Structure 1
């Protein structure tokens, strides 16, 4: 089973790249973040018709979606309460199989500037609410795949000059603590099983020739519950997608499970 995650940074602007990814990888499930469209505006392109869609859209910004092959029977998870109501940043589904697999796709708030109590406080509260949900699922022995754009620099080597990021919302100690609370609930960060910190990035800014200088950040992750982390065969970062025409500033990453 192949599950892919990608902050596509506008699905309508990059529907050709999404189609290319579908045709080349043929993933069973695709998590998309920052789709930047309402549900009804999600493009109907060739290749998507073999997927069912779970979309949490918003006009012009944010937005997440899960594409899942029609062979899977599933039930959508409702996240329309509390802090998750205000912005379209989370969606999920339960696959009805012997694993009772819960898939949760997130686009975490950026939180900058830190001096803005409104934005940074929202990010910390959002992470706190996510932690509660994940802990409840883990405590009930649920099999979870939590993936997406976490907007956090968990390790100092997830960027080349971490010192200057410690006052940024991505590298701030409060953000990193919230991310680790989720990990300590009982999830495994799959990237760390296959790569040492500093070996791989998932995001390169459009500005300051970041791609050309390989000035990247690792902010996209797959976090899995114990039973699932033991059946991951590989994780792969589709780095060439950052070099495509009109690319997203993030690249797709995917895992292969032996199920």
Structure 2
């Protein structure tokens, strides 16, 4: 008899602001793994005590004001890895760990700002380094899940207005090609295993009543290795937290596995 395991990702856009939302969501959903991005906290500020009181362990790779990633779980967290090995980077965008026999990566991919900026070139370099590292990780861990804010809408169906976004970051051909190269390593976009239709998003701008009008993008993803694909039971976007007062501009994505 299999056990259902729930893996989730959520860009919280400041854990200092959103901690009550995260604690409430953890209590109601009881995920086995929650990966956070944009905690925007130094490690010394991370709420280990509040999470422990709620029954969760955590690891965090953070910095002041920007970036920051975490993995939260009620289960033991082992074999922790911070950052992409061999890639010199002051920005805290990666933490990985093994939980219940599954290798989990929480990733906050570079936004890129605009296609003519240095930050865009940094994004492509970062994605290339991520690809090389994940190729090596797959050789060590056949059960591998990479959860996070990828800052890439892989297809026009993942964008509310492809024509308006054409040529911009999040949808540019080099970014989408980099995403496809991750899939070519042997990963699967778990949401698309179950949901094929357009108009399903995980991020909405705070401006122009974008959430109410569903003017969003699907840029938060859970990629799973081939060994996990057959265990995938469902993957959903939980819009409820986006409706709260002072929400993150992202909302959780959650995958259920039968292990």
TM tier relative to shorter chain = over 0.9
Is 1:36 the equivalent of 2:37? Answer: no
Partners of 1:215 and 1:26 lie apart in 2 by 29
- 1:14 is paired with a residue of what secondary structure? helix
How far does the alpha carbon of each residue in 1:187-226 deviate from its partner, in whole angstroms, 9 at most, with x for none? 0100111111414110010011101211010000110011
- 2:35 is paired with a residue of what secondary structure? strand
Partner of 1:134: 134
Partner of 1:149: 149
Partner of 2:248: 248
Partners of 1:53 and 1:238 lie apart in 2 by 22
Partner of 2:7: 3
Is 1:200 the equivalent of 2:204? Answer: no
Partner of 1:101: 102
Partners of 1:47 and 1:135 lie apart in 2 by 32
Of 78-87 and 37-46, more deviation after overlay is shown by 78-87
Q: Is the 8 A contact 1:77 1:94 kept in 2?
A: no
Equivalent residues in 2 for 1:9-20, closer than 5 Å: 9-20=13-24
Partners of 1:38 and 1:238 lie apart in 2 by 28
- 2:21 is paired with a residue of what secondary structure? helix
Partner of 1:67: 72
Report the alpha carbon displacement of residue 166 of structure 1 after superposing the two structures with TM. Answer: 2.6
Q: Is the 8 A contact 2:160 2:199 kept in 1?
A: no
Partner of 2:116: 115
- 1:62 and 1:81, CA in 2 relative to 1: closer, same or farther beyond 3 A? same
Q: Is the 8 A contact 1:23 1:47 kept in 2?
A: no
Partners of 1:18 and 1:139 lie apart in 2 by 33
Report the alpha carbon displacement of residue 137 of structure 1 after superposing the two structures with TM. Answer: 2.5
Partners of 2:239 and 2:119 lie apart in 1 by 30
Show structure 1 runs of 4+ deviating over 3 A.
Answer: 44-49, 80-84
- 1:256 and 1:76, CA in 2 relative to 1: closer, same or farther beyond 3 A? same
What RMSD in Å do the two structures reach over aligned CA positions?
1.6
Q: Is the 8 A contact 2:84 2:130 kept in 1?
A: no
Q: Is the 8 A contact 2:82 2:95 kept in 1?
A: yes
Q: Which runs of 5+ in 2 are unaligned?
A: none
Aligned residues: 254
Q: Which runs of 5+ in 1 are unaligned?
A: none
Of 181-190 and 141-150, more deviation after overlay is shown by 141-150
